[in-house]
Amino acid sequence: MMKMRQGVMAAALAAVAAAATEPARDYRRESPAERAARMAWFQEARFGMFIHWGLYAIPAGEWNGQPVPGVGEWIMSRAKIPLSEYRQLLSRFNPTAYDPSEWARIAKRAGMQYIVITSKHHDGFCLWDSKETDYDVASTPWGRDLLKPLAEAARAAGLKMCLYYSIMDWQHPNYDPLPSWDAGRSGHRPDMDAYVRYMKAQLRELIEGMGPLGILWFDGEWEPTWTHNRGVDLYNYVRSLQPSIIVNNRVDKGRKGMAGMTAEGEFAGDYGTPEQEVPSRGFPEGVYWESCITMNDTWGYKKDDHDWKSVTQLIRMLVDVASKGGNLLLNVGPKADGTIPPESVERLEAMGRWMEVNAEAIRGTTATPFRRHRFRCTKRPGCLYVHVTERPADGWVSLPGLTNRVLSARLLAGGTSLTVGERNGEPAVELPTVLPDPHVTVVAVSVEGVPGAAARPPAQDPETGVVHLDGEEARLLGDLKYEMATDSIGEWRSDDGRAEWTVKVVQPGRFRVEIEYACEKASDGGTVQVTVVDQAVSGQLKTTGSSHAFRRLVLGELTIPSVGEWGVSARGRRRESAPTLMHLRAVRLLPVGGP
Ligand code: H79
């Protein structure tokens, strides 16, 4: 819809006049307390539903009878479809089975706390009746807004309504650049200032029409025409319309690739957005993040994508994310008829059954107190939750370095109380002979105070025999530095850098040595050497594509002759003229053969 009523016009002019007299406020500056209060619901939620829905659900991954590789919502780009052709989908969009209350029920029953739906994806199609364009749901046979009814259903179910909005737009006549595959499109006049006015008008419609919203989830910010200044301005604009709103970091240019966290600097955005990955560890308090993940391999519905993650994988992913202090935004891609694929619904129902029993170990918790633990853990004042995925051979879960007095322990499933004792001088809890939940069995350990843990030096896992040495725990010589952003040791700029560990070995024997590393293209071809006492193993480092993409490399085998404390060190040689050697995340010694 495009007509502008006179009242609306007058209101818009008044707003412009008011904005001109008021000093612009920079919403990036707020006190830690203000920020924490604004982020509180997000921090507690831990689990939300992402919904990718639009015209692309109609072709569902197939164009002119041919399967199109890649994610479904990118079909316009992947199949190089001109707008003149793609827009014909408008006349076929009629989701007669759309039932927003059912969607809200599915999310709620899964244990989710919020919904983020694509109000407009990269293709530019708008799921509400926008005054600013005809390229919207009002121009389809369905003919009416899809978002407000969902907002109402979500709120009725106690869920926060949130919107995704793509900055990149393959349809708008002023977006810059015009999509490369559609160079012959007529009437295109690149003008980012005009396009920004369009975005702002739409965002005002959304916030004023659907509000109050939980999150505005921007995306498609990576093209060079989108600048830091524009990002800051848009962030402030959105916050000025609803000061309490949460805005993800893709509003600005600070996002670091798919790892998604925000770079150092004055970047706008309230939280990091890892995409299709979970960070290797958590972040300091006050750093918020949310991993967005698909259940198969596409965001928008694709009829041929059957690569579904299992319920166990999904539950363990939620636990992994919560144990690191983040949120999981799990995607569904509804079909063109308005139904969520049954494979997604089944999985969400199973997650819901798990959450019914175990939600207290997820919702409202914070990250594990342990630097390193056999199992994922979460905590709240008075309680530590251990998410057990496998029964240790001796049946005890040990809590090395726990600083709190343990009062009691029980399984969340069934409430069975468990024996509390000590193992190897550390507090421990005895598990039943059979774990009741094949996905994750949660042990709730009641403690005095807020669960905390003292650091423990690296030690061999007494059960598996594995020695795991984290980059973060190494003593570093030369210029080496541990970098939190990549969770690895970097700055291997001269060949005298060395990382050293001392590890307590309880089961000596033969070990296979492997490293976990990343290596950017320019540094391809260095060598790395790991030494234990007088034995060395080494290997060639091939590029992993970037300093964020980690891979394992087996270096060889060596023997640790006896029980005791042993020194392990890693060093290397760069290829001549290479800027650096690698990023080293971990060294592992894996027992080979029998014990
Ligand atoms: O909506 C879903 C996808 O359609 C959208 N984001 C999710 C939530 C998405 N679009 N593109 N991509 C995901 C992948 C894009 C990756 C790249 Fe980049 C953009 C590679 C180069 C530019 C991001 C920014 C990664 C590196 C820089």
pLDDT digit string (tens) for 367-385?
A: 999 998 989 999 999 999 9
3-state secondary structure (DSSP) of residue 279:
coil
Encode pLDDT of 224-233 as tens digits.
999 999 999 9
| Mean predicted confidence (pLDDT) in 334-340 | 98
Give the pLDDT of residue 548: 87
Segment 16-40 shows an average pLDDT of 82
Q: What is the mean pLDDT of residues 412-419?
A: 97
- With a 6 Å cutoff on the Cβ, whether 222 touches ligand 1 is yes
Proportion of the chain in helix, strand, coil states, percent, rounded to 5: 25, 30, 45
pLDDT band, very low/low/confident/very high, at 193 (cuts 50, 70, 90): very high
pLDDT at 595: 46
Q: Determine whether the shortest distance from the Cβ of 292 to ligand 1 is under 6 A.
A: yes
Distance 275 CA to ligand 1 centre (A): 8
Question: Which CATH code, of 3.40.50.1860, 3.20.20.80, 3.30.830.10, 3.40.50.300, is assigned to 2-18+33-361?
Answer: 3.20.20.80
Count each helix (H run) and each strand (E run) in the chain, helices first: 10, 29
Query: Does 221 contact ligand 1 (Cβ within 6 A)?
Result: no
The answer to whether 137 and 144 have CB atoms below 8 angstroms apart is: yes
Strand runs (DSSP E) across 92-214, as ranges?
114-120, 160-166
C-alpha 364, offset from chain centre: 18
Q: How far is the CA of 401 from the centre of ligand 1 (A)?
A: 41
**Interval 555-569 mean pLDDT:** 95
| pLDDT band of 456, cuts 50, 70, 90 | confident
- Please tell me the predicted confidence (pLDDT) of residue 443: 98
Residue found under tokens 């790892």: 259
Percentage above 70 pLDDT, the chain: 96
Show Cβ contacts of residue 19 under 8 Å, excluding neighbours closer than 6 positions. none
Element (H, E) at 210: helix 192-210
The mean pLDDT value for 502-525 works out to 95
Confidence of residue 459 (pLDDT cuts 50, 70, 90): confident
Residue, of 315 and 281, whose pLDDT is higher: 315
pLDDT the model gives residue 71? 98
Cβ(290) to ligand 1 under 6 A? no
Query: 144 falls in which pLDDT band (50, 70, 90)?
Result: very high
Contacts of 313 (CB under 8 A, 6+ apart): none
Note the Cα 498 to chain centre separation in Å. 32
Biggest CA-to-CA distance, the chain = 86
CB-CB contact of 176 with 76 (8 Å): no
3-state SS assignment for residue 16: helix
Rounded distance from Cα 330 to ligand 1 centre (Å): 16
- Domain extents for the chain? 2-18+33-361, 368-447, 467-593
Quote the mean pLDDT of the chain: 94
pLDDT of residue 462: 81
| For range 397-407, the mean pLDDT | 96
pLDDT value, residue 594: 54
Residue nearest to atom 26 of ligand 1 (CA): 257
Say yes or no: CB of residue 299 within 6 Å of ligand 1. Answer: yes
- 467-593 is classed CATH 2.60.120.260: yes
Say whether pLDDT at 8 is over 80: no
Is residue 79 over pLDDT 70?
A: yes
Q: Is the pLDDT of residue 236 over 70?
A: yes
The whole-number pLDDT of residue 260 equals 94
The pLDDT of 389-396, averaged and rounded, is 93
pTM, to two decimals: 0.90
**Among 3.40.50.970, 3.40.50.2020, 2.60.40.1180, 2.60.40.3880, what is the CATH number of 368-447?**
2.60.40.1180
Name the pLDDT band for 55 (thresholds 50, 70, 90): very high
Q: Residue 520: which residues within 8 A CB-CB, separation 6 or more?
A: 543, 545, 546, 547, 580
Q: Which two tokens stand for residue 342?
A: 């049954």
Q: Which of the listed residues 52, 71, 547 should we mutate to test ligand 1's pocket, taking the one with most ligand atoms within 8 A of CB?
A: 71
In angstroms, the first-to-last Cα distance of the chain is: 72
Mutation probe of ligand 1 site: the residue of 169, 250, 253, 275 with most atoms within 8 A of C-beta: 275
Average pLDDT of the residues in 209-222: 96
pLDDT at 239 over 60: yes
Tokens of 552: 């394992």
pLDDT at 17 over 70: no
Q: Which residue has its alpha carbon closest to ligand 1 atom 18?
A: 257
pLDDT score of 33 more than 90: yes
Percent of the chain past pLDDT 90, that is, above it, reads: 89
**pLDDT above 70: residue 345:** yes
CA–CA separation, 370 vs 456, rounded Å? 9
Q: Is the pLDDT of residue 254 over 80?
A: yes
